[in-house]
Amino acid sequence: MVISDRSMIRAARRIVVKVGSSSISGENAHQIGPLVDALAATHSTGTQVVLVSSGAIATGIPYLALDGRPTDLATQQAAAAVGQNVLIYRYQDSLDRYDIVAGQVLLTAGDLENPTPRSNARRAMERLLDLRILPIVNENDTVATQEIRFGDNDRLAALVTSLIGADLLVLLSDVDALYTKPPQEPGAERIDFVAAGDPLDGVEIGASSLAGVGTGGAVTKVSAARHAAESGSAVLITSTGLVRSALAGESVGTWFEPQASSPRS
């Protein structure tokens, strides 16, 4: 179905939610609980929910006794290997409160651009959703070297949204919406609605206000939102703290209108 505005979110059949590293690691690791509360509430209505979660490298850093995000690739991969295990445990521990089982799905962007692994990934995801499992997707950072250096999970979330034909993609970060300029600057105004095909002329798109653990920002979110919208999925950009309101259809964040005539992949 086409979700044309926020009032239809509760009727969505399938939703992909993406959360960034800065929202669920380090000092913000406590936000996993409220995030899971919101996902579980939506899951309980019968809606199929997929979570695309960054944070493996950021979560693994303290366990390697590092002072900050490593710059060399091998140490990034080591941090991801340790952090992914801890991250999934934290999610499952929180999901246990609702008797929801998580399924870990590690992908690279390349997997979704090659017909054979793309088909395999779609089949596995569809089966997990049919079994009422909540898939938690992340980039396979231990092997996806290019993605560690240049990639981001906003793009991966958009590809997953297209892969499974989700009705809605919710992109979460530390900023509550898209603004006409970086939100910390004077005169920045929240953008409530972006029409299909709107080039956003005159909008100054800056990076996320938090740096050091993540690789995305407003630029990657807008690019991902456009990709998903062009594939026929609605997109909502907002903050992790507003996820419950977003999934309830309240007037938060920035809404990207889906391209109604676009075929599902």
Residue 142: inside a domain: yes
Element at 168 (helix H, strand E): strand 168-173
Radius of gyration of the chain (CA): 17
Residue 141 known to bind ligand: yes
Q: How far apart are CA 13 and CA 10, in angstroms?
A: 9
d(CA 59, CA 79): 8
Residues 49-98 have pLDDT tens digits of 999 999 999 999 999 988 888 988 899 999 999 999 999 999 999 999 99
Q: In this structure, are residues 193 and 255 in contact, taking their beta carbons and an 8 Å threshold?
A: yes
CATH of the domain at 144: 3.40.1160.10
> Which residue carries 């995305």 as its tokens?
216
Say what the pTM is: 0.92
CA distance 24 to 30: 7
Domain that holds residue 200: 6-256
**Domain presence at residue 263:** no
Question: Which stretches of the chain drop beneath a pLDDT of 70?
Answer: 145-151, 206-216, 261-265
Domain assignment present for residue 241? The answer is yes
Whether 265 is covered by a domain: the verdict is no
**Helix, strand or coil, per DSSP, at residue 185:** coil
Closest CA relative to residue 158, chosen from 260, 249, 50: 50
pLDDT (0 to 100) of residue 114:
86
Residues 6+ apart with CB under 8 A from 65: none
Chain centroid offset of residue 260 CA: 22
Residue 208 is assigned to a structural domain of this protein: yes
Question: Rounded CA gap, 171 and 238, in Å?
Answer: 6
Q: Is 37 annotated as a binding residue?
A: no
Q: What is the separation of C-alpha 226 from the centre of its chain, rounded to a whole number of angstroms?
A: 14
pLDDT for residue 49: 98
| 221 carries a ligand binding annotation | no
CB within 8 Å of 255: residues ≥ 6 apart: 5, 6, 192, 193, 194, 234, 235, 236
For residue 63, is it within any domain? yes
Q: Residue 136 to residues 81, 87, 157: CA-CA distances in angstroms? A: 16, 10, 11
In a domain? residue 53: yes
Number of domains in the chain: 1
Rounded Cα–Cα distance for residues 223 and 261 (Å): 19
Is residue 120 a known part of a binding site?
Answer: no
Classify 35 in phi/psi space as left (phi over 0), alpha (psi -120 to 50) or beta. Answer: alpha
- Dig out the tokens for 215 from the structure: 């690789």
Count CA atoms closer than 13 A to 211's CA, side-chain side: 4
Point out which residues pair with 238 in neighbouring strands: 172
Residue with tokens 């569809």: 126
Q: Which residues contact 72 (CB under 8 A, 6 or more apart)?
A: none
Question: Is residue 1 in some structural domain?
Answer: no
